[in-house]
Structure 1
Amino acid sequence: MAPLRLLLTLSVGLLAAVLGADATYYRHHRFVPHYRYREHSANTENLLPEAAQPATPTYPVIPEVFHPAPESLHPAQEPDQSPEVAPAAMVHALAPLSRGKVFYGVMFDAGSTGTRIHIYKFIQKDPVELPVLDNELYHAVKPGLSAYKDTPEEGGNTVRQLLKLAQKTVPEEEWKQTPVVLKATAGLRLLPEDKANALLDEVREVFAESPFFIPKNSVSIMNGTNEGILAWVTVNFLTGHLYSNTKRTVGILDLGGGSTQITFLPKSQSLTPNNICLRFNMFNHTYQVYTHSYLGNGLYAARLATLGALRADGKIPVFTSSCLPKKFQEDVTFGGITYKVSGIPDGYAGYKLCYHEVMKVIKGIVHQPFEVKGSSVFYAFSYYFDRAVESGLIDGSRGGMVEVRDFKKRAKEVCNQMTKFRAISPFLCMDMTYITCLLKEGFGFKDNTVLQLAKKVNNVETSWALGATFDHFRNLNIH
């Protein structure tokens, strides 16, 4: 049976993860998705008193990795019921899967600052067992598609070049059975509709030329809600918590160039702003996930908002900020538009002034879910990770756990020594201050809240791409 046909006929929810050097697999079971959205008011916040901080930092324990294999099916839970956990048995590690059937999936992440390709390799050991995620090949090109809003053919060429990499990676005999999908995010969401559609049409033409299998609706713009939930699925899948019978999961913080997302499983739905929860059933578990996406609050969009460039009428020749080195001046391009920015030569610069500037981009816009003040574990990635590495807060090869106060401390050091850090990035002070402000004043994290910064989990990128691949492979029907 063809791998894709086998994949689509399996009545299962998600693929099994590879943890460490061993591959694991799960017994065959059914996944019945169900999503329910609730409207909310963007102007209402849930600001509750902050609990007293302990004298010494208390690091939450990262939940252990479990891999249960449900033996039987249970009906989906009613909205007011807590999900039951099906009987589970610990899954054993497989021997090397050299004799299994190999197949692939290709997902393009067309972000605001770059286009990334994720080439996933899966192995089907046995028709009655779930396939295994074997590995991922990842590559990125800059700038993002939105930079080609006036020259869509050039944007299409960047995708064409990445497709050549896919052809080198996927064996030729698998091309016609390997699905290729592109999902664009905030970069195209911020463009005028006609410009975005022209880019998407160009990508469709490039896909049509390729030898791969092109599913229906393979090129689209993904909304921020799906971006958050699919990133949550990816990280919890890779860490083993998506299937855990302990009901413990990890939250995610994704900071892109044009937008940012927060997603987590609240202990009480009533403690999220306006009870914004997305409900779905997965592997006999009912999840009510709080998720919110903020368009225009990604790192690069926030830079321009801090500078006042996004509100400008075209009459301001140069945009200045106390977050930049005094003698700095440069042309900055975002979304295909170039802006002149600089420090304030005869003014003051530093952390306090910069914090005041970036507050305007966050205050009254970002909600504060009360439960982030608790002990939930959050994985932070994308520009959270990149800026932490550039500022020396963590080791880029390993990632690591940091407290929110660590971002604040390092932001002060960077801002008060801008000359020293200018060689790394003249925007490092602004970026680190924005991250600090977003975490503290925006989401409401406490100083001693611990974040797990990671670029990869088990050698797979921490992004929404794997979750989106599951969406296409397993027909999750996320609307």
Structure 2
Amino acid sequence: MKPAVSVLLLVLLAVAGLSRAQVKTSLLDLANSIGSVLPSLSRPANSSRIFYGVMFDAGSTGTRIHVYTFIQSDSDLPVLDNEMFHSIKPGLSAYSDSPEMAGHTVRMLLKVAKKTVPRLEWKRTPVVLRATAGLRLLPPEKAQALLAQVQDAFDESPFLVPNNSVSIMNGTNEGILAWVTVNFLTGHLNAQIKNTVGILDLGGGSTQITFLPKLRKTIESAPGPDYIARFDMFNSTYELYTHSYLGNGLMAARLATLGALGAEGLEWRVFRSSCLPKKFRDEWSFGGLTYQVSGIPDGYAGYKLCYQEVLKVVKGIIHQPYELKDSNIFYAFSYYFDRAVDAGLIDGAQGGLLQVRDFKKRAKEVCNKMTKYRPVSPFLCMDMTYITCLLKDGFGFKENTMLQLTKKVNNVEASWALGATFDHFRNLKIH
């Protein structure tokens, strides 16, 4: 692929639109609402000037569809005219014992694509699904059964189904593609700019850290070759420190903190934690399983005890890179952003700049006044304490490290999805 074409494709992705809105939609609600949520195209469909792409993000807590409308301009510079986004909860992994529901979920979301993409363009519009930690955590045979149902739904659809259109994304690629997206959108991949930003992504099943080291010792002291990734872009070679920790996403960390990871006898066991309100008891579901959870009615609760519980989920598992002290500004998104909003640290529309100590301070307040924050989420103490522990005792950030909490960068979703779309378009040579 010519360098000029790859630059054009990166520019086309730089002008993308919607964020990963927190749409909690049931299948029936989605069916009823498709007509009302779809935007009208800003230009009439013209097959010689407009083309489309459909990307499914199959995460551990939900399945999302991105329908992109691209325009080829007179100067041969394509631009992104529109993005349609919708999501369904729970994620595909919740249907590990009913894989046909995975196909049903995708068929429902494909209706969004049919409504957005003109009928004449269906046959030339590629559909792609990439699954993340939710499916990585499943036994291989169950994950493949779910993917087979998705593949069937794609094959039945009127869209173009490329080779390898349905797969589980490698955790390292997840971090790299998010890093490429954020650094491109912030202008840090310009050849004249030597500084870049790091990314911290906290999903439900896994968490990723990716940054460009300034010190050779950071590369040399990495635990293994799977912590380092090299790739070429803009006539430059980048050597990144990047790693994905499967099982250290926010929801998987809840399970581990509760001692429920891989537990049996779920129908009669109650999993207790000092991170939960004393009088709290309820059911909680993740990955297709339901757990009985509660606080400790006759025990103690609060930040100190909670921190001891979550520390065992982090210590000895998360590697501390040699250089994090004064290296990069880090962009943090997904559950980092969501929980900061829930805890009142940042505005849900604007995001904001926080120090690591801000998470610690608010975690203490939430944990020591659980009844006040219980209406927001009974898990807020556990989640905020885990994030604090992950940043401090896990990755080894200083308390004064600045984090840019964001959902979007220049109106583009801060995640791996756009990077994955670019990567796929490059492979398909759509231009």
1:59-458 to structure 2, matched below 5 A, reads 101-126=49-74, 129-272=76-219, 273-274=222-223, 276-314=227-265, 317-458=269-410
Distance 2:361 2:69 in 1: 41
- Runs of 4+, deviation exceeding 6 Å: 7-10, 18-22, 96-100
Distance 1:105 1:9 in 2: 21
Letter in 2 for 1:306: T
Distance 1:151 1:369 in 2: 41
Contact 2:66–2:83 (Cα < 8 Å) also in 1: yes
Gaps of 5+ in 1: 1-6, 23-95
Shift of 1:8: 10
- Residues 269 and 313 of structure 1: CA distance in aligned 2, closer, same or farther (over 3 Å): farther
Distance 2:203 2:16 in 1: 30
Distance 1:359 1:144 in 2: 27
Shift of 1:372: 1.5
Identity, in percent, stands at 72
Kindly provide the CA deviation profile for residues 213-256 of structure 1, in whole angstroms up to 9, marking residues without a partner as x.
Answer: 11101000111111111111111222222234212221110000
SS at match of 2:94: helix
Higher alpha-carbon deviation: 249-258 or 262-271: 262-271
User: Which structure shows the bigger proportion of residues in helix conformation?
Assistant: 2
Distance 1:382 1:289 in 2: 21
Contact 1:325–1:422 (Cα < 8 Å) also in 2: yes
Taking CA–CA contacts closer than 8 Å with sequence separation of 6 or more, which of the two structures ends up with the larger relative contact order?
A: 1
- Residues 167 and 11 of structure 1: CA distance in aligned 2, closer, same or farther (over 3 Å): same
Kindly provide the CA deviation profile for residues 380-402 of structure 1, in whole angstroms up to 9, marking residues without a partner as x.
Answer: 00000000001100000110111
Contact 1:15–1:130 (Cα < 8 Å) also in 2: no
Distance 2:137 2:286 in 1: 11
Shift of 1:280: 1.1
Letter in 1 for 2:10: L
Shift of 1:162: 0.8
Query: In the alignment, which of 10, 16, 23 is matched to residue 11 of structure 2?
Result: 16
TM-score, normalising length: structure 1: 0.79
Contact 1:322–1:348 (Cα < 8 Å) also in 2: yes
Contact 1:269–1:288 (Cα < 8 Å) also in 2: no
Contact 1:261–1:293 (Cα < 8 Å) also in 2: yes
TM-score, normalising length: structure 2: 0.87
Shift of 1:18: 7.0
- Residues 201 and 18 of structure 1: CA distance in aligned 2, closer, same or farther (over 3 Å): closer
RMSD: 2.4
- Residues 471 and 20 of structure 1: CA distance in aligned 2, closer, same or farther (over 3 Å): closer
Shift of 1:212: 1.1
- Residues 121 and 476 of structure 1: CA distance in aligned 2, closer, same or farther (over 3 Å): closer
Distance 1:461 1:266 in 2: 25
SS at match of 2:390: helix
Contact 1:266–1:289 (Cα < 8 Å) also in 2: yes
Contact 2:63–2:89 (Cα < 8 Å) also in 1: yes
Contact 1:181–1:218 (Cα < 8 Å) also in 2: yes
Shift of 1:368: 0.7
